[in-house]
Amino acid sequence: MEKRRSWTARGEMQEADKAVIQALVNKNLVAARILVTGEVHERYIGDAAVRLLVNINDTLYENGAVFEPLFVQTKDNTIRMTRFDPDVVWRWFHPDILVRLVADEAARLHVDIDPLGMDHFDFYEEVVNCIRKKADLGIPIAWKDSDLDTYYTALYLSCLILFGKPGYLDIPVAQYFAQPAVVECLVEMDYRFLTTAELNKLEELGKKYCHIQALTNPELKFIVSLYERNRV
């Protein structure tokens, strides 16, 4: 079976990217926070770090590379890495720096992650694992008629908690967690246990679709049903 890529992986890393990443770590550790997740909101790192990320792309061309820029600005006011694989990127700079960067990201999301005890080469898988333990396989409390940010955040997070599958509405997990509105919802979020009937349905779907990496329609339909006020 093909090895599953991490949730935050995007594109294929190039050897020339290594020089860019190492230069970034040496110049500005605030800007280097992007190396944990592959995408950060501009508000989180500030204007100076944003300018550095955009300008440091020149390191590629100075070394003769012809690839597209590694760091790009998006319409969502984030900076995104066009190529990112934590299993590769995290090995390109000193582990002590990674520990510091992971601690910064954990503080941003208000989760208790031990940088030295991570089980995944993916920060957001660690985040969801922490939430899953805290919620005891519960789901965020929200309703279909809750405000849009709360409802959307709850649905997306439930897909991660219950099925381990990002990509609700075709939104990559790094893009989801980078949004300040999502972080604000997460800080205030409470959770509820699943009922026996819901747990049975979850088990049934897990057996049927666990081999499919993408979120399936039956799984999504189940998630949405959990937020109907008239659910059984």
pTM listed for this prediction:
0.90
Q: Rounded to whole angstroms, how far apart are CA atoms 184 and 149?
A: 9
**Predicted pLDDT of residue 66:** 66
**Predicted pLDDT of residue 29:** 96
- Taking the CA atoms of residue 94, residue 95, residue 97 and residue 100 in that order, the dihedral angle to the nearest 10 degrees is 180
Q: Rounded to whole angstroms, how far apart are CA atoms 86 and 65?
A: 21
**Predicted pLDDT of residue 83:** 95
According to DSSP, the residues that pair with 10 across neighbouring strands are 84
**Predicted pLDDT of residue 116:** 86
123: nearest Cα among 138, 108, 140: 108
Q: Rounded to whole angstroms, how far apart are CA atoms 70 and 83?
A: 6
Burial class of residue 185 in the structure, from the number of CB atoms within 10 Å of its CB (0-12 exposed, 13-18 middle, 19+ buried): buried
**Predicted pLDDT of residue 105:** 95
Compute CA distances 61 → 39, 54, 64, 83, 108, whole Å: 22, 13, 5, 16, 33
**Predicted pLDDT of residue 1:** 40
Q: Average pLDDT for consecutive 10-residue bins of the chain (232 residues)?
A: 77 91 95 98 97 87 75 96 96 95 94 87 93 81 80 93 92 95 89 92 94 93 86 48
Q: What distance lies between CA 58 and its chain's CA centroid? A: 27
Residue pair 172/122 in contact by the 8 Å Cβ criterion: no
